Amino acid sequence: MTAGIETMSVIREWRSALANAIQNGYPVSANWVESYREKAAQSLRLASVGASTDSDQQALQLLTNELDNMQKWSDKILKARKDMDAAKYMSPDALNNDPLFQKILNCAHSLAAMSASGQFQDDGSCH
């Protein structure tokens, strides 16, 4: 569980940094995003080592889904910047109107609730 919480923290750090960059109009580069992705992937690998029960394995799959969605969202932001379409991500409502970002946020909340309860509960938000 500790490794899972650490993985959730690393992904939250990535999500928060990227959201902050978008909200404040800071440039986002592939190298910058890659450093967050690598840290999150390493944390997930460590969590996978400790996943011994069926519940652990199921929770690990949800963490993997969250990491995959973060990668998709980061790729989407990088592509928009490359295509010079970054302006649509700089509006105050950009994150509220981004379904992938909302999915990531909902999954994070679900994982946090599961961690707090100490029981595996899949509410479907991480699929």
CB 44 within 8 A of CB 111: no
User: What gap in Å lies between CA 80 and CA 104, rounded to an integer?
Assistant: 19
**Within 13 Å of residue 58, how many CA atoms lie on the same side as its CB?**
11
Instruction: Enter the pTM of the model.
Output: 0.86
Comparing CA positions, the residue from 66, 49, 57 lying closest to residue 112 is 66
Residue by residue, pLDDT tens for the chain (127 residues) are: 778 888 999 999 999 999 998 888 788 889 999 999 999 999 999 999 988 888 888 889 999 999 999 999 999 988 887 777 655 556 657 788 889 999 999 999 999 888 888 888 888 888 8
pLDDT at 85: 60
Per-domain boundaries in the chain: 2-117
pLDDT at 39: 96
Please, what is the Cα angle at 18 between 83 and 24, to 5 degrees? Answer: 80
